[in-house]
Homo-oligomer: A and B are copies of this chain.
Amino acid sequence: MHIPSKFKVTNPDTLYRFIKDNPLGTLVSFSDNDIDATHIPFYLDTTDLRKVKLQGHIAKINPLGKKCNDGDKVLVIFHGPNAYISPNFYPSKNETGKVVPTWNYSVVHVKGSVSFNYKSSWITKHLEKLTNSHESVSQSNPWSMSDAPKEYTNKLINAVVGLEIAIEDIVGNFKLSQNKPTNDYDGVVRGLKNSENELESMVSMQMQGNK
């Protein structure tokens, strides 16, 4: 991915925060001369900051577990909100006319080697961590895995495969009008703010926190 320097994000805290806020990753792999992408909610394990990992799981019937081998290099993409930017948002349109449309978005790219894990103890722990991380944020009365009958969850645990990606490279491309003069930047924030399109107001919010 080509990243102009003004959009490039390398601060690990910012990148980890982004993944935690946008955990549905696009896992891209290449095998048998074919590009494949699988959409997986990831848990970011930052227990050891020298060995940060993405952890997830897929159904055993998902062919990815056979097409991919331990050690295969994969790319995982995390997406923030995105929006079309009209030249009408820029005050400088009325001054010079030298404006064109663009698109604002933010993504984080992670590269690393994948490994699969079939141990039910690992999978159980992973599912607990993943569940608790989301329940604690979104639910006033958090559901816990122990709320379901053990026989039922055991059956489901046996139907999935764990996977882990040791992060070797991580970079963000936060393309959010940082290349624009302040007046035009603020014009974009205003232009998107009251949009009926929820993604557009999310980008506006993000831009207010970004500068």
A contacts, CB < 8 Å to B: 1-2, 24, 26, 28-30, 34-39, 41, 58-59, 61-64, 73-75, 77, 79, 81-82, 84, 86-88, 93, 97-101, 103, 105, 107, 109, 130-131, 134-135, 138-139, 141, 143, 145, 147-149, 152-153, 156, 173, 195, 197-199, 201-202
A32 → B minimal CB distance (Å): 12
Q: Of B59, B93, B138, which contacts A2 at CB under 8 A?
A: B59
Contact B100 A156 (CB under 8 A): yes
Instruction: Say yes or no: A35 contacts B98, CB within 8 Å.
Output: no
Residue in contact with A107 in the complex, picked from B39, B59, B81, CB distance below 8 Å: B39
**Residue of B107, B138, B153, B197 touching A100 (CB-CB under 8 A):** B153
Known contacts A1-B36, A2-B38, A37-B75: does B145 contact A100 (CB below 8 Å)?
A: yes
- Once bound together, how far apart are the Cα atoms of A39 and B107, in whole Å? 9
Chain B neighbourhood of A38, CB < 8 A:
1-2
29 sample A-B contacts, Cβ–Cβ < 8 Å, listed by A number: A1-B37, A2-B38, A2-B62, A24-B82, A24-B103, A24-B105, A26-B77, A28-B35, A28-B75, A30-B35, A34-B73, A35-B35, A35-B73, A37-B109, A81-B199, A84-B138, A86-B134, A87-B143, A87-B148, A88-B143, A93-B143, A97-B148, A97-B149, A98-B152, A101-B134, A101-B143, A138-B195, A198-B198, A198-B199
- Give the distance in Å from the alpha carbon of A157 to the alpha carbon of B99 in the complex: 13
For A58, what are the chain B residues with a Cβ–Cβ distance below 8 Å?
A: 2
The 8 Å CB contact of A131, one of B28, B101, B138, B145, is: B101
